[in-house]
Amino acid sequence: MRLITKLPGTRRVSQARHLQAARELAYQCIRCASCLPACPTYGATLLEHHGPRGRIALVRAVAEQRLAPSEALGPLDACIGCRACEPACPPGVAYGAILEHFRAATEPLRPRSPSARCAWSIALRVVLGTPWGLRVAAIMYAVYRKSGLRKLLHRTRMATWLGPIAELDLALASVREPEARCRVRWRVESAPRRPRVALFRGCVQDIVLSHVTAAAARVLQAAGYDVVLSSRQGCCGALHMHMGYRKDALRMAARNIEAFASEDVEFIVAIAGGCGAALKEYGNWVADRPSTDLVPAAAAFAARVRDFSEVLDARALPHMGPVERTICYQDSCHLRNVQRITDGPRALLQAIPGVRYVELPGADRCCGAGGAYNITQPAMSRYLLDRKMEMVRSTGATVIAVANTPCHIQFLMGVLRRKPGEPEIQVLHLAELLDDAIARRRGEPPSETGSDATAHLTVARQPSPPIHRP
């Protein structure tokens, strides 16, 4: 506990409160080990402290002052936060909440250089943390994309400065031109009025994959909804919560709750499984602050949140033209393990005429994306991605359908890591596939969907970093 006592007084109170909350939740663990087979990091290492049971034991030991927090940080940081351990747990231990409380308590203790701490703080608090930060980032990204800076960066040694972000940035080079963020604005009024939904546009999604947001809006409109985009919404705060920036996450939740409070909409529709899970958990996030009037507002907000696949009925989709592709689907962890949605996306894919749907073995296992996990833990992330891509190739699919932004970007990296002779595979969001099929029925040229696997820059494929196995 030496590290904790070094913190200023107010911080110490906050740390103690979070550790206490984590400890109370951790007591529910009966150490039965049912969760171990579901855990991807345990599967990769076979180390007890890299599985949920071991991590919960470490949290308890820290909270009970039997272990220095620094001893537990490594195994807890190596957790993806995929929450696959939750559905597998007989007593229903709230592992996600334990992890969030632990990270909130220990974030200031994390060994980071001042420059890294400053970079994370700017990225999370300024860029993703404010609507104007997102707007500036979108403009800067558009300039970066069009200016040729990316080519310059990757054809020189400058890319090495970016570390694990370099490969991620390279993967994004294959994404089609983003739809101009400022022009993506629907406020369709129909007479008689149709059911109205608000589309949650997110943060990274809206900057680098805005064509997915546009495709989702077109599909919802074709399915009979009026679609509203609120300009006051911001990032959902999931990344902040998972990384221990709890206060910032709560601030962002409060802003979104306020932004949508005045919107006369039936549902708030999320197209990313991670965002949707966070929005649905706003009520839990603010539950430990019973003195605020945010609690009922958060519960009312969460009750209106739906995943994209929940508001579409596979039996009542608009007419669609044939999409002759072999498609597999990767579950979004937070869509599956938190929102418990598995059948809806699969039914929608199978409803597209011409699609040959193949089930991806291990689709319920994390691809290694995990918010910023592919930046903070690149070795484990790339190891899981390489195993995942082997499974995808074993299905013979030419398209991987996804339902979450980090998974989308992770699979773009997986496609980029293709070895010579391996077939090309496209990564498409479920909304893009539906949008494409609807456009084909109307006789419009098929949408220029997704990524162009051949368009990536010609640079050397980065080798997989080594991963420790016992």
Residues forming the site for ligand SF4 (CB under 6 A): 29-35, 38-41, 52-53, 55-56, 79-85, 88-89, 91, 93, 95
Sheet holding 267-270, edge to edge: 226-228, 196-200, 267-270, 305-307
Least separation in angstroms between CB 39 and ligand SF4: 3
Question: For residue 401, what are the β-bridge partners?
Answer: 329, 428
Minimum distance between the CB of residue 49 and ligand SF4, rounded to whole angstroms?
Answer: 10
- Rounded to a whole number of angstroms, the minimum distance from the CB of residue 4 to ligand SF4 is 23
Of residues 85 and 348, the one with the C-beta less far from ligand SF4:
85
Which residue reads 């919802």 in tokens?
A: 220
CB closer to ligand SF4 out of 56 and 243: 56
Contact 243, 174 (CB under 8 A): no
Burial degree of 233 (CB within 10 A; 0-12, 13-18, 19+)? buried
Q: For residues 436 and 440, give the distance between their C-alpha atoms in angstroms, rounded to a whole number.
A: 6
Of 94 and 311, the one with the shorter C-beta distance to ligand SF4 is: 94
Are the C-beta atoms of 357 and 346 separated by less than 8 Å? yes
CA atoms within 13 A on the CB side of 83: 27
Nearer to ligand SF4, 32 or 118 (CB): 32
Shortest Cβ 468–ligand SF4 spacing (Å): 15
Minimum CB distance to ligand SF4 smaller for 39 or for 399 = 39
Q: Is the dihedral of CA 121, 123, 124, 128 positive or negative?
A: positive
Which helix (H) or strand (E) segment holds residue 430: the answer is helix 430-441
Residue in the block written with tokens 């479920």: 430
Residue 450: closest CA among 168, 143, 174: 174
Q: Which is nearer to ligand SF4, 53 or 325 (CB)?
A: 53
| Residue 170 vs 363, nearer CB to ligand SF4 | 363
Nearer to ligand SF4, 102 or 411 (CB): 102
- Name the phi and psi angles at 66, rounded to 5: -95, -10
Q: What are the structure tokens assigned to 270, written together?
A: 């999320």
- Tell me the C-alpha distance between 314 and 357, whole Å: 14
CB of 78 to ligand SF4, least distance (A): 8
SS3 327: strand
Minimum distance from residue 182 beta carbon to ligand SF4 (Å): 37
Q: How far is the CB of 327 from ligand SF4 (least distance, A)?
A: 26
Looking at the Cβ atoms of 92 and 148, the one nearer to ligand SF4 is 92
Residue closer to ligand SF4, measured from CB, 214 or 407: 407
Please report how close the Cβ of residue 85 comes to ligand SF4 at its closest, in angstroms: 3
Tell which residue, 298, 312, 280, has the closest CA to residue 195: 312
Beta carbon of residue 298, minimum distance to ligand SF4 (angstroms, whole number): 23
DSSP string, 260-307: HHT---SEEEESSHHHHHHHHTHHHHTTT-TTSTHHHHHHHHHHTEEE
CB of 63 to ligand SF4, least distance (A): 16
Cα–Cα distance measured from residue 238 to residue 229, given in angstroms and rounded to the nearest whole number: 20
